Amino acid sequence: MTGAAAMAGTGPVILGVLNTTPDSFSDGGDYLDAERATARARELTAAGAHVIDVGGESTRPGATAVPRAEELARVLPVIRAIAAAGAAVSIDTIHAETAEAAVAAGARFINDVSGGLHDPEMLTVAARASAEHDSRYIIGHWRGIPDPEHVRSNYGDVVREVRDALAARALAAIAAGVAPSHIVIDPGLGFDKTGEQCWEILRRLGELQELGYPVLIGASRKRMLGDALATVPGAGSGPLDRDGATAVVSALASRAGAWGVRVHDVAGTAAAIAIERAWAGPDRGDRITLTGLEVFAHHGVFDFEREQGQRFLIDAEVSVSLRAAAAGDDLSNTVHYGELADAIVAAVAADPVDLIETVAERVAELALGYPGVSRARVTVHKPDAPIAHPFADVAVTVERERSEA
């Protein structure tokens, strides 16, 4: 993935969708012919795609499964041609046999929307690709073959449940031999999730990023966008009418720190991201992230909390330009994360307060005091909070900029 990251610069990696299928929801049949598909790949690259994501079987709700021989016949000639031209290629498949053949043909990403749940051999193939070809494995979240009626979209907290499921699949991939640095996670927008659940995931994208893996967002032309546009006068109702909305999501995902976006209209997304980058200013994308820092402290509303103390877990993300540090390989031009960790532990363990909101504010103010830090995002977790019901965690997140300090 190194090449794709370098091409993307400070913005997200753009995966250009290339469906060699007759039944994809927005462009089915357009690029079924290998020659036309290859020409389309060149167009996507010229428009700004860093990776071409080639799929030979539709995963839309209600789609018909394709025999492996047919899927391979659709994708392999295209992958060989694109890879030979020097482009980075991804194979969009839920089948291990197809993934393995695609990697042998030159693909360096395996984009599996099932996260290895559909084909038990997929993790083995992904591990081999990781070790032998430096390939990345994109782990998607789903609950099975997409259901058009959303009967499996029953979540208590969709973000927490998707995050936990992705964390489990990532650990399974690592146990199979996939290098942790080769894992990307995708929340699977539209896969057994209602439109509102998809928007909730995007609003709370930071909670997925806390897992420590790059996050890919694939909202392009999906129904959630059509639903959001339904009340806009003059807005079309078809998938192709959603490209403008897709570009907006791409720009917002860029601002939120997504690793990549998967889109059909590459030119529109590339333009939107360029505007977002210009608005944000240089080096907006540079960050140092520290997660899961454990501190024992005595904060709380109740007397026993202050007397006995309890665990707190701290996540801190600071925005700081890293250009000078990287250019000179000089620690003095960046934030020493070891010193930052020591300072956070001392700040959290200091005089007791009632609210973890106050603790979060204290840490954010501390982080903004470091030279060059323009923004701080701090989450304080209180996993042992005195709550009378089973729960996994309670946390408070604050985001502060230097101008607010």
| Highest mean pLDDT (candidates 137-146, 345-354, 366-375) | 345-354
Q: Residue 353 pLDDT > 90, yes or no? A: yes
222: annotated active-site residue: yes
Residue 234's pLDDT band (boundaries 50, 70, 90)? confident
User: Pairing between strand 109-112 and 260-263?
Assistant: unpaired
193: annotated active-site residue: no
- Residues 192-213 have pLDDT tens digits of 999 999 999 999 998 998 888 8
The mean pLDDT value of the chain amounts to 89
The residue behind tokens 């089948």 is: 95
Hey, CA dihedral for 15, 154, 229, 203, is it positive or negative?
negative
Averaged pLDDT for residues 105-124: 97
The pLDDT value recorded for residue 283 is: 63
- Residues 243-278 have pLDDT tens digits of 999 999 999 999 888 999 999 999 999 999 999 988
Averaged pLDDT for residues 267-292: 86
Contact between residue 314 and residue 380 where contact means Cβ atoms under 8 Å apart: yes
Q: Residue 3 pLDDT > 50, yes or no? A: no
Contact between residue 127 and residue 134 where contact means Cβ atoms under 8 Å apart: no
Q: Residue 281 pLDDT > 80, yes or no? A: no
- Angstrom CA distances, 71 to 52, 78, 93, 328, stand at 17, 12, 9, 48
Q: Find, among 172, 178, 174, 183, the residue nearest to 139 by Cα.
A: 183
**Domains located in the chain, CATH noted:** 2-280 (3.20.20.20), 287-404 (3.30.1130.10)
Q: What is the pTM of this model?
A: 0.72
What the block records as the tokens of 287 is 């960050």
Contact between residue 158 and residue 118 where contact means Cβ atoms under 8 Å apart: no
Averaged pLDDT for residues 352-360: 96
Among residues 204, 221, 242, 262, the one annotated as catalytic is 262
Q: Residue 16 pLDDT > 60, yes or no? A: yes
Q: Residue 59 pLDDT > 80, yes or no? A: no
- Residues 133-168 have pLDDT tens digits of 999 999 999 998 877 777 888 999 999 999 999 999
Among residues 40, 204, 221, 222, the one annotated as catalytic is 222
